[in-house]
Amino acid sequence: MRRDYLIDTATLAGCFEGNTTPAKEILETFGSATAIFELGQREAIRVFPPLERIAGKLFSRHTADQAARDIDWALDHHVDIIAFTDSEYPQRLSQCPDAPLLLYKKGSCDFSRPRFAAIVGTRASTQYGRRYCERIIEGLSALKVKPVIVSGMALGIDTHAHTFAMKYGLDTVAVMGTGFDTIYPAANNRLAEQIMDGHGALVSEFSPFTPSYPINFVRRNRIIAGLSDCTIVAESKVKGGGLITAAMALDYNRSVFAIPGRIDDTTFRGCNALIEDNVAAIVTGAESVIRAMGWDVTDPSLPLSFSDSTTEPDPVKRQILNFLVEHPESDINDIAHALASTPRAIALPLLELELSGAIILMSGNRYRVK
């Protein structure tokens, strides 16, 4: 019976919270969690002696009752449950040594689809980070075989990644750090409903009743990385969940990309460090990802790069360019003074011009037209 099989698997999973790697060896030995209980405690230990370390918990009535409670709640609330030994378990994730034994899923997503791309980043996202997160997703939407966008439904870049994916017609998967009884953050309840309502799926490895423990958001990052062919860090400080996801993606031998930022911008120090350390490939637009991943594009009219040659520069950029033509090697204070503006107000236009290749940042923080 499917229910009993899921309860047995959940019971085994409950013995390895935070480290599911040893459970894979157990499953390889017995074929399924159900086979362990059919043998009984003494015979199962004889077949696989290391099982003795967890036998007390594995064969306890309390562990089985908790597993039954979780599975029954999920079934009653129309949450799909995918076991590691099921044929529909995500193949990419199954290749990861620490993949979870159970996945709870609500919504629609075919994990056998050929392309999945994770986009992650800081909760304290900036206008610049949001803008180029959108530009990348818009460019990826031009692909004939469209990728599924994976993120963690946190505030900031994660929320924008899911939102922009839906805006441009891409499916999206939100990997939660809580169980399905608690959508976190509560501010994203509506986003969660939109994703489940025909735009993708919500996924969690946690018991439906698991609240928002900080460590679980670190654990769920491995699922974001494991589900995806590549991970794009859109914006990250020197420490953050995006960098953890990138490190996990590297461990899984997946591609990692990062959007660069100004060297004095704290919200991009993590991205810049990934690029400087040759951990991540620099992203100058969606074509960076498309080219590196060997993906195809069918609509060249969509903006695939950060520069957009089909439109005129905005007035501020035009003024900056005109000033630098007449006054080469000027610093940000000179430019701001000439435009009757402030360094803060022109920092983003300057960075965009630099990334587009229109201007060059020289030593001494001075700019000139390329």
Q: What is 116-293's CATH number?
A: 3.40.50.450
> Which pLDDT tens digit goes with each residue over 170-229?
999 999 999 999 999 999 999 999 999 989 999 999 999 999 898 999 999 999 999 999
Intervals of the chain under pLDDT 50: 308-312
Whether the CB-CB separation of 269 and 238 falls below 8 Å is answered with yes
How many Å apart are CA 122 and CA 300, to the nearest integer?
Answer: 30
Percent helix, strand and coil across the chain, each rounded to 5? 50, 15, 40
Backbone phi, then psi, for 366, in 5-degree steps? -110, 150
Alpha helices in the chain (DSSP H): 2-13, 21-30, 33-39, 41-47, 55-58, 61-76, 91-94, 127-140, 157-167, 189-196, 214-227, 241-251, 269-276, 286-293, 315-326, 332-338, 343-356
Please give the sequence-ordered ranges of beta strands (E in DSSP) within 186-229, or none if there are none. Answer: 200-204
Residue in the structure block whose two tokens are 């005129």: 312
Whether the CB-CB separation of 20 and 13 falls below 8 Å is answered with yes
Burial of 39 (0-12, 13-18, 19+ CB in 10 A): middle
Question: According to the model, what pLDDT value does residue 301 have?
Answer: 58
| Residues linked to residue 230 through DSSP beta bridges, in sequence order | 117, 255
> Which pLDDT tens digit goes with each residue over 338-366?
999 888 788 878 877 876 667 887 766 78
Q: Which helix (H) or strand (E) holds 369?
A: strand 366-369
Q: Where do the structural domains in the chain lie, given as residue ranges?
A: 2-78, 116-293, 315-369
Beta strands at 230-235 and 255-258: parallel, antiparallel or unpaired: parallel
Largest CA distance in the chain: 86
Question: According to the model, what pLDDT value does residue 312 have?
Answer: 47
Question: According to the model, what pLDDT value does residue 74 have?
Answer: 96
| Residues linked to residue 255 through DSSP beta bridges, in sequence order | 230
Question: What three-state secondary structure class fits 18?
Answer: coil
Nearest residue to 57 via CA among 6, 14, 100: 14
pTM of the model: 0.81
How many Å apart are CA 266 and CA 27, to the nearest integer?
Answer: 45
Architecture of the domain whose range is 315-369: Orthogonal Bundle (1.10)
Whether the CB-CB separation of 359 and 324 falls below 8 Å is answered with yes
Question: According to the model, what pLDDT value does residue 310 have?
Answer: 43
Question: According to the model, what pLDDT value does residue 307 have?
Answer: 55
Q: For Cα atoms 265, 269, 270, give the angle at the middle one, nearest 5 degrees.
A: 145
